[in-house]
Chains A and B, each alone.
Chain A
Amino acid sequence: MDDLIRVFADALRGALGPDAAAFAIAAVGLNLHFGFTGLLNFGHVAFMAVGAYTMAIVVDAGLPLWVGVPAGMLAAVVLGLLLGGTTLRLRADYLAITTIAVGEIIRIMIRSRALEDVTGGVFGIQGVAADFFALNPFSPGNYGIWRVTFSERQLWVMVVGWTIALLCTLLVWALMRAPWGRVIKAIHEDEDAARALGKNAILLKAQSLCIGGAIGALAGMLLALERSAVDPNQYLPQQTFFVWTVMILGGAATIKGAMAGAVMFWFIILFAEGLLREGISQGIIPDWLLTSQQMFAVRFVIVGAMLIGLMIWRPQGVFGRREEVMIGAR
């Protein structure tokens, strides 16, 4: 029983922790792309990587963090413009294909020998968070209640992370309730209808891509600050699909879905992983079924099962409205 409580507490810690905050931010950006605008962005990790690396390079060059963060966002905007300029005129599927490719291209580029002087190649860049933790107002120690406690460093990343997540959520909310958001919804549903009414669909899609991308960049930066480092293996394609799962779980095209989705996502994953690990160590789960070395892959199985379950029983996510998903599906 005590083991179960420990697993539960650990899962709760993770669900509130820095990673969850970063995925919440990333999902807010992706939600603007896909949930609201209908842009099929399967390479969100590219924005995260570009943001984190730009910040890391700027900070590594000796410039302060407050230069690094806007630089990272700016880099994501440039990436958005490049992607948008080439694909937004085409059918939606082309953006999907291009973003998958760009995500991988960026990762392969930053780990390449050729760019080692700038990006640190496979080793990445270390010590990028000195400025950030110098600002930490919390004195050393453990904070929290019951068994859910965090170190002062984690707490600082969490406070900053969830604040950014909240601010980004408010930004998207403010945009979507404005006439700008009305046009975005119209473009999502039928671009030609919007264009026939004089709306510059390509411009607004590009704006959405850039804003969502810049938000994604913030998520990447937060992950880098938490780990005090950037390295290419943080930007594998599966990150994009974790963000997608977070967004769908919370409810695409809902305002609060992304933040809630991130908390639920990490709780479910960590709780399930914890149970399995506990089961293995206590011999409840036999060796021939699952060994602790195989635990790494289990995460993907859980995410896959979660997505399938959602699609079957609750395609609108926890906070979505079923009618909106079903209209037009006839």
Chain B
Amino acid sequence: MHADDPNHPMAAVSPEPGIAKPDPILTVDAVSRSFGGLKAVDVDHLEVQRGLITSMIGPNGAGKTTFFNLLTGFDDADSGTWSIDGTRLDGKPPHVVARSGVVRTFQLTKALAKMSVFDNLMLGAAGQQGERLTHALFPFLWRKQEAEVKERAEELLDRFKLGHMRDEYAGTLSGGQRKLLEMARALMVRPEIILLDEPMAGVNPALVQSLLGHVTALRDEGLTVIFIEHDMDVVMGISDWVVCLAQGSIISEGLPRAVGSDPKVIDAYLGTHLAEEATPADAPDLAPESTAHPEEPTS
């Protein structure tokens, strides 16, 4: 269902920063993180609706990646709490966060270059008995599970069209293929929430379409997707909800169109661009008429 549809689950939610959602899976309160004098993240309240695609936008250095790092335990917040379905995750180390169903990908892709594409996927599966030292030496304790994991890995390999690279070192993949691999590997964990940090960055336009297809498919399977993206066409096309961060705080959230035409958002983008002495023409095209569907490339 496209976000412009009046029956969209978020159609009735008013576009205010920190607004409550009908069915939030992730709730964030008073999270802050400073680097020296710089307040990188300062979010009062944010709820993320279950089973939808929520995009995070914001100019470079707005604090999007830092926000992801805090949520997933890769960085320590100065203050704040967050929880998924009532389970507190603040202060938890990354592996505990992942085991609670929140899995992330990285802005700079972390494909494990010296492992095969297939082993990258096998690694992802959660709760593997053979990863326990007490079990590792006794294959009969993990062989059955290993076979199940293998089956799922083969499925994802096919789905993400990486089958022909199965036994190659992941280091031989192209940038776009690595993004696909990282996403597929995250799915091996069977997360409830997947956090994607610029999954389309540096990916060729043909592959962008396929990546977008995968992201929408994840939502349609019931996953909650939060993703950081700079390309406004992409954001307008597939998001159910958009959150705009600037200087660490949420300055706007709402349906894609509403955020896209919010003067505060346009200001934030133009502001930073002017500050960098770039021409306003460099600013992303936020006008509503440019909300192209990803399925219909404009090129």
Q: Which residues of A contact B (CB under 8 A)?
A: 171, 174-175, 178-183, 185-186, 188-190, 192-201, 204, 207, 323-324, 327-328
State how many angstroms separate the Cβ of A186 from the closest Cβ of chain B: 5
Known contacts: A197-B189, A198-B95. The answer to whether A189 contacts B169 by CB under 8 A is no
Question: Which of A195, A324, A327 contacts B93 (CB under 8 A)?
Answer: A195
- When A195-B95, A197-B186, A327-B171 are in contact, do A182 and B119 touch as well, CB less than 8 Å? yes
Interface of A is mostly: helix
Complex CA–CA separation, A76 to B132 (angstroms):
21
- Are A185 and B131 interface neighbours, CB within 8 A? no
Q: Which of B16-24, B81-89, B120-128, B214-222 contacts A (4 or more CB under 8 A)?
A: B120-128
Flag B135-147 by CB within 8 Å of A: 1 or 0 each: 1110100100010
CA distance A45 to B77 in the complex (A): 40
Chain A residues with CB under 8 A of B132: 180
Total contacting residues, chain B, CB less than 8 A: 40
Q: Is the CB of A186 within 8 A of B142?
A: no
Across the two chains, which residue of chain B brings its CB closest to A326?
A: B171
A210 closest partner in B (C-beta): B133
Contact with A along B101-131 (1 / 0, CB 8 A): 0011110001111110001001110101111
Query: In the complex, what residue of chain A is closest to B128 when comparing beta carbons?
Result: A179
| A182-B171 CB under 8 A given contacts A175-B137, A192-B106, A192-B110 | no
Complex CA–CA separation, A135 to B280 (angstroms): 87
* Residues of chain A lying within 8 A (CB to CB) of residue B293: none
Give Cα distance in the complex from A207 to B134, angstroms: 11
Contact A199 B114 (CB under 8 A): no
Flag whether B252 is at the interface (Cβ < 8 A). Answer: no
Structural contact, A327 and B169, CB atoms closer than 8 A: yes
Partner of A185 from B99, B114, B142, B188 at Cβ < 8 Å: B114
The distance in angstroms between the C-alpha atoms of A178 and B136, with both chains bound, is 6
- B72 interface contact, C-beta 8 A: yes
With contacts A192-B110, A196-B110 known, is A179 near B137, CB below 8 A? no
Beyond A178-B139, A192-B94, whether A328 also contacts B189 by CB under 8 A is: no
Can you give 16 A-B contacts (C-beta < 8 A)? Answer: A178-B130, A178-B139, A179-B129, A180-B130, A183-B123, A186-B112, A188-B114, A193-B112, A195-B74, A197-B123, A197-B124, A197-B185, A198-B99, A198-B126, A201-B95, A328-B114
**Complex Cα spacing A174 to B140, Å:** 13
Q: What residues of chain A lie closer than 8 Å to B93, measured between beta carbons?
A: 195, 200
Tell me the minimal C-beta distance from A177 to chain B in angstroms. Answer: 8
Chain B nearest CB, measured from A74 CB (Å):
16
Q: How far is the CB of A328 from chain B (nearest CB, A)?
A: 5
Residue of A nearest to B131 (CB): A179
- Whether A180 touches B106, Cβ cut-off 8 Å, given contacts A186-B112, A197-B123, is no
Given contacts A182-B122, A183-B123, A190-B110, contact A174 B137 (CB under 8 A): yes
